[in-house]
Amino acid sequence: MTEATVLDPGAAQAAAPEARYVQSASMAHRRAFGQFFTPEPVAQLMADWVLQGRPRTILDPAYGMGIFYRQIRAAAGDVKFRFTGYELDAQVLAAARAEHSAGDSGSALHLVNEDYLAADVQGYDAVICNPPYMRFQKLVGRHEILDRLQAESGIRLGGCANSASVFLLKALHQLNAGGRLAFILPMEFFNTNYGLELRRKLAADCLLKQVLIFANEKELFPEAVTTVVVLLCENDGRPSGVSCRTVNNLHELRGNGRLPDSVVRHVEYPELLAAVKWSPVFENKPTMTWAADRYVPFSHYGRFRRGIATGANRFFVFNREQAEQRGLPMSQLQACVTRSTQVPGMVFSDTSMSALDRDGRPVWCLNPAEPMGTAVRDYLSLGEQQGVHQCYLTSKRNPWYKLEVRSPAPIWVGTFYRQRLKVIRNFSSAPTFTCFHSFYPAPDFERLVDALFVYLLSDAGQSQVCLQRRQYGDGLVKFEPGDLNQALCPGEAQLRKLDQERVQSVIRLAAIDPDQALDAANELFPSVFSLDGSARAADILDAVQ
């Protein structure tokens, strides 16, 4: 095998067939098929990995413009191999074929214009793939695909699985003994519930060998909002553990696609089998393990639920003036917090909601109920003319305009954040949209709501919740309700012994001086966390960030 050298990754990428295709294909088309092309140094690295296994048959489940085939062909030299590429998009496949030279049309390359996930595919010595970055839920026949994969592999991915995870599961099932696999995935795969069983397979079967975390995802995929990882696997059954590296820029790949020298850490498989989420393990973030009688998951006290999802905010949301112009009666509207920016502070009340309304903010949500007047019916007819009833969420409802029921919750936690988790003590009668997750306490624990709120404000609470995060690109972090429900917090005995006057003082400060409220919260909770000799919460928060 020979190695191709790239002196300037950026220049090489600009001259690549992928760059020419991007100029000719619209962004809408590329997004519809989840097309985010692999930079050449990364493709070289992945090709080098699979070629070390000396494969005779190689599979690319998402061929695109064929960068993996080009890299493997260049590096393999005189070594003979059979390369099969599946590609659903006829447009990109036609462009790829047009780019191929006459020497590429021989028996080594076999291209199939077909959906890989629905195809009957045999075993391969190597699999190399940058799967489409798109919602698997939009794929026709997805239920049949998942049922078939479960029957073949014994693993059931959750209904929220992304397409990349489904591609990976099928590819692993088709990897021959001794074969190698190189796969690009969003880093969220390490932490999601739907990927739990697949992660267990990677560790239990000793498949995963190396992980590369690309810290600067904008350099790899400028149009995608996600942190990217590359999984390097080998189906050899050897319990070698996993080497994890962080790549800060493409030049660290030393211009030839080889792995960087720096090893962040080596992880043994038992560590991964025991971990619910893998990101803290691979990133070497400290975790807190506490006695069960002292620390419990948030679900012990109640449940976080997501906010109202309309499926078409542009249709359902109004300010008061817009509603009046439409003739929509206020009795058919519900006051809601529709955007995170509507709550700049730590405490929200009915007075806060009234101020937003006076300022003309869009805090009214259409939620029709019988009897509906002419104005409401006319507006719903307009929505049907615009196709609102055929949107993804609205098409699942009967009737399509009837929204979910959400009661006001005493605590809101922001769905996304970059620096610090947004936590709100809500005293208003308003529910919230999906910009916040809402905490509903169990009846026996309503009196502990204020203490739980102060805990979430503190460095100790923030650090523990951060361990459940889902890392996206550009420093963006996301939480699902289940992530928050799993986060640990002090047990009942610790919360009940808190000085309630000090708890109330934190809440009063939160309404007027957030910085002082944070200091006061930290004064309360580090003393609780020190009972079992754990690391200081502030130190752990610094490490998590």
Q: Is the pLDDT of residue 484 over 80?
A: yes
Element holding 449 (H helix, E strand): helix 449-457
Residues 6 or more apart in contact with residue 509 via CB below 8 angstroms:
516, 517, 520
Q: Is the peptide bond before 399 cis (omega within 30 degrees of 0)?
A: yes
Q: Is the pLDDT of residue 238 over 90?
A: yes
Using DSSP, state whether 477 is helix, strand or coil: strand
The DSSP string of 87-149 is -S-HHHHHHHHHHS-GGGSSTTEEEE-S-GGGS----EEEEEE----S-GGGSTTHHHHHHHH
pLDDT in tens, 25-76: 888 888 778 778 888 888 999 999 999 999 999 999 999 999 999 999 988 8
Q: For 293-347, what is each residue's pLDDT tens digit?
A: 577 889 999 999 999 999 999 999 999 999 999 999 999 999 999 999 999 999 9
Measured CA to CA, the distance from residue 346 to residue 354 in angstroms comes to 17
Angstrom distance (rounded) from CA 521 to CA 456: 9
Q: Label residue 141 left, alpha or beta by phi (over 0 means left) and psi (-120 to 50 means alpha).
A: left
Q: What is the CA radius of gyration of the chain?
A: 26
In this predicted model, what pLDDT tens digit does every residue of 11-28 receive, in sequence order? 344 457 888 888 888 888
- With 70 as the cut, is the pLDDT of residue 290 above it? no
pLDDT: which is higher, 508 or 475: 508
- Asked if residues 248 and 227 have their Cβ atoms less than 8 Å apart, the reply is no
**Helix (H), strand (E) at residue 211:** strand 208-214
Cut 0.85: pTM above it: no
What lies within 8 Å, CB to CB, of 325 at 6+ separation is none
Phi first, then psi: give them for residue 447, nearest 5 degrees: -75, -10
* pLDDT grade for 99, boundaries at 50, 70 and 90: confident
Beta pairing partners, 372: none
**Dihedral (Cα; 91, 63, 184, 118), 10-degree rounding:** 90
Task: Name the residue among 411, 493, 491, 489 with its Cα closest to residue 453.
Answer: 411
pLDDT value at residue 329? 94
